[in-house]
Amino acid sequence: MSETPRRDRSPAPRHGTTLSLVFGAVLLAGAATGAWGDPPTRPASVDAAPALVAGQDPAGAALSPQQAEGLIGANGDRWGAYYSAQEYAEFTQGLGGRYLGVGLSVGRGQDGVTAVSQVQSDGPAAAAGIAAGDRLLKVGEDDADHLPVTEVVARLRGLEGDRQVGSTVTLAVQRRDGQVREVALRRALLDSQQVAVERTADGVVRIAVRAFTSGVADQVRAAARGAHAGVVLDLRGNSGGLVEEAVAAASVFLDGGPVASYQARGERRELTAARGGDTRTPLVVLVDGGTMSAAELLAGALQDRCRAVVVGGRTFGKGTVQQPSRLADGSVLELTVGHYYTPSGRSPDGTGLTPDVPAADTDDPPALARRVLAGLGTRV
What is the average pLDDT value for the chain, to the nearest integer? Answer: 80
Q: What percent of the chain lies above the pLDDT cut of 70?
A: 79
**Superfamily classification of domain 27-191:** PDZ domain (2.30.42.10)
Closest CA to 151 of 81, 248, 96: 81
pTM over 0.85: no
Closest CA to 360 of 284, 288, 283: 288
| Least-confidence region, from 25-29, 64-68, 108-112 | 25-29
**Residue 347: partners with Cβ closer than 8 Å, 6 or more residues away:** 319, 339, 340, 341
Q: What is the tens place of the pLDDT at every residue in 278-293?
A: 999 999 999 998 888 8
- What is the average per-residue pLDDT within 101-123? 80
Identify residue 60 by its one-letter amino acid code: G
**Domain extents for the chain?**
27-191, 195-319+339-375
Give residue 4's pLDDT: 37
Cβ(214)–Cβ(183) below 8 Å: no
Q: What is the tens place of the pLDDT at every residue in 134-186?
A: 999 999 999 999 887 767 888 888 876 777 889 999 999 999 889 999 999 99
DSSP 8-state class, residue 241: B
CA angle 371-289-274, nearest 5°?
Answer: 70
Q: What is the tens place of the pLDDT at every residue in 322-341?
A: 778 899 999 998 888 888 99
- What is the average per-residue pLDDT within 294-318? 95
Q: What is the tens place of the pLDDT at every residue in 214-266?
A: 889 999 999 999 888 999 999 998 878 788 999 999 999 999 999 999 877 67
**Residue 237: partners with Cβ closer than 8 Å, 6 or more residues away:** 26, 105, 107, 117, 118, 132, 210, 288, 290, 291
The dihedral sign for the CA sequence 125, 130, 132, 136: negative
pLDDT at 41 over 80: no
CATH 3.90.226.10 fits 195-319+339-375, yes or no: yes
Alpha helices (H) in 287-328, listed in sequence order = 294-304
